[in-house]
Every structure is written in structure tokens, then in C-alpha cells.
Structure 1
Amino acid sequence: MSGNKAFWGIVTAAAVGAVIGLLFAPDDGGKMRKKIKKKTNSLASDLIEALEKSKEKASDAADEIKKEGLEYKDTAAKKAEEYSSAAKEEWNKY
């Protein structure tokens, strides 16, 4: 959840910064549009990169959870087999 808040905080700060930059811009319209386009492309690239990193981290975490789940499943299956064998041995004693 905090990662999501940080993401939206960064996006909001970037938007506010762009608006403030426009308000105090000394350049004419053509130059300003080029600067805005360049900055927008830069921010979009940064955003895409951040999203790809987040996706990669999420994928790695999911793989780790899956691996641990399979390990727990194998351990549980072995324990169940041990208990079943022990119960059969006890049953056969009588």
C-alpha cells in the first residue's frame, strides 16, 4: 500500500512541478511546447521504468511464494505419509 502511495505522490509532485514551471516560464509558445513534450516523454519513460521494476518485483515475490508453498505441500505430504504408516503399524498390532 505504501508503494502505491509513493507512486501517486511522485506523479502528483511531477504534475504540480510542471504546472509551476509553466506559470513561471520565460520562453515563447513553440519553445515551451518542445520543453513540455521533452519533459512529458522523460516522465513517461521514468514512469514506465518504475512500473516495469514494480512488475518484476511482484513477479519475483509471487515466484518465491509459489516455491515456498510447494515446499510446504511436499513437507505436509511426507508428514501425512509418515502418520499414515505409523497408524497402519499400530492398527496391525491388534
Structure 2
Amino acid sequence: MATNKALWGIVTAAAVGAVIGLLFAPDEGNKTRKKIKKKTNSLASDLIDALEKSKEKAASAAGTIKEKGQQYKDEAIDTAEQYVDDANEEIEKYR
């Protein structure tokens, strides 16, 4: 969550800085608008790439968590089965 906020902050600051820089540039309005559009498209592309990477990392983390959860579940089942077997052996001793 903090990473997303930081990412949005960086992207927003870069966009604002680019727009301010272009607005004070000595170019004609038409050229300035083209530069703003080009820079905005570039920033949007960078943001999409960053979001895709974040999505991939989240999917990877979810997969890892799922695998660990399955391991813990399997270990718990094995332990429970061992306890049942041990209990049955103890019961058989007294029969």
C-alpha cells in the first residue's frame, strides 16, 4: 500500500514538473501541447508498466503464500494422523 502511494506521488510530481516546465518553455502553444501530450503518454506508459510489475509481484506473493499454506495444512494433517495412530496404539495396549 505504501509502495503504491509512493509510486503515485512520484508519478504525480513528475507529471506536474513536466507540465510546469513545458508551460514556461519558450515554444509556441501548439508545440507545447504536443510536448505535454507526449510526456503525458510517456508517464502513463511508465505508470502502466509499474502497475503491471506490481501486479506480477502480488500474484507471485499470493502463489507463495498459497504454497506455504498448503504445506502447513499437509503438515498439520500428517501430525494429526500420527496422533490418531499413536492414540490407537495406546488403546490397543489396554484391550
Would the TM-score normalized by the shorter structure come out above 0.5? yes
Tell me the distance in 1 between the aligned counterparts of 2:34 and 2:19: 15
What residue ranges of structure 2 are gaps of 5+ in the alignment?
none
Q: What does the per-residue CA deviation read over 1:34-75, in whole Å, with 9 as the maximum and x for residues that have no partner?
A: 101110110010000000000000000000000111011111
The equivalent residue for 2:72 is 72
Q: Tell me how many residue pairs correspond in the alignment.
A: 94
Query: Is 2:57 aligned against 1:54?
Result: no
Tell me the distance in 2 between the aligned counterparts of 1:37 and 1:23: 12
Equivalences for 1:1-94 in 2 at 5 Å? 1-94=1-94
Tell me the distance in 2 between the aligned counterparts of 1:43 and 1:4: 15
Counterpart residue type for residue 75 of structure 2: T
RMSD: 1.2
For the structure 1 residues 19 and 35, does the alpha-carbon distance in structure 2 shift closer, same or farther, using more than 3 Å as the test?
closer
Tell me the distance in 1 between the aligned counterparts of 2:34 and 2:16: 19
Give the C-alpha shift of residue 22 in structure 1. Answer: 3.5
Dislocated runs of 4+, deviation >6 Å: none
Tell me the distance in 2 between the aligned counterparts of 1:73 and 1:61: 18
Tell me the distance in 2 between the aligned counterparts of 1:5 and 1:42: 20
Give the C-alpha shift of residue 93 in structure 1. Answer: 1.3
Which of 40-49 and 23-32 deviates more?
A: 23-32
What residue ranges of structure 1 are gaps of 5+ in the alignment?
none
